[in-house]
Homo-oligomer: A and B are copies of this chain.
Amino acid sequence: MTLQQARICIGCWQQMHLPVPLRGVLSVPFRAVGIRPSKMNPNTCTVCELMFTRVMRARKITIDATILFADLRGYTTLSQSLSADAISGLLDAFYDECAGAIWQYDGLLNKTIGDAVMAVFNFPIQSEDHAKHAVRAAREILKRWRIERETLVERFGLAGSDLGVGIGVSSGELSFGEFGRSHRDLTAIGTVVNTASRAQSAAGSDQILVTQDVYQRAQSDLAGSQAKTYQLKGFQEPIELYAA
């Protein structure tokens, strides 16, 4: 499935009822002043990214949101034996499949770092179903990647490599905004973010682990999933995670 491209910015429309053209002739004057599709989600604009600073007059806001971390397994080991071309081919493909799946469910691809991506659901495009959207995006990542990696395994001669994906998803209140004063950086911060990251580390190859909070919100998508107890790094109490 390809991404349906919005003609106006969905974030600005939802939050301010402003029609900001993203594509076509009407978008030309907007582009001239730096308003263009966001790199983090092409159906929102560069104003959205900073909406809370400009419109809400706050550097950070507390929002209820869902965080997704996805990580390419075996990448560190693999990259020692691969050519630079093969490594970047692999990452290009992985980032692209993740971006496609995340945008399909209105998420914001907030960060890529090495072999991992981090996405936020419920900002700037809002939806009550953000936990469900994140779970569906996670499944879509696995689905797309299973197809894509067969091509890659053949193209780069990687038979026998892991190349699976581990995913962690967590929902709840977190801080979203600009951190750092000299180097400003838009991101999400808080225990919800750390939990999603640790759940991703605990996930097996091609496994999605979600927190209890996500399970409760996306129950209709997760029927029959059993909780298992995990001891995550940095967390004093053991935590229950559900395979999605």
Q: Give 24 A-B contacts (CB < 8 Å), ordered by A residue.
A: A39-B183, A40-B183, A60-B88, A62-B84, A76-B233, A76-B235, A79-B194, A80-B191, A87-B175, A88-B175, A88-B177, A91-B180, A92-B180, A95-B180, A95-B181, A95-B185, A96-B180, A103-B182, A109-B183, A111-B111, A112-B180, A112-B183, A114-B189, A114-B197
Enumerate chain A interface residues (CB-CB to B < 8 A). 34, 39-40, 42, 60, 62, 75-77, 79-80, 84, 87-88, 91-92, 95-96, 99-100, 103, 109, 111-114, 118, 175, 177, 179-185, 187, 189-191, 193-194, 197-198, 233-236
- Number of copies of this chain that the complex holds: 2
Q: Which 10 A-B pairs have the closest CB atoms?
A: A76-B234, A95-B180, A99-B183, A99-B182, A76-B194, A84-B175, A112-B185, A77-B234, A113-B113, A109-B183
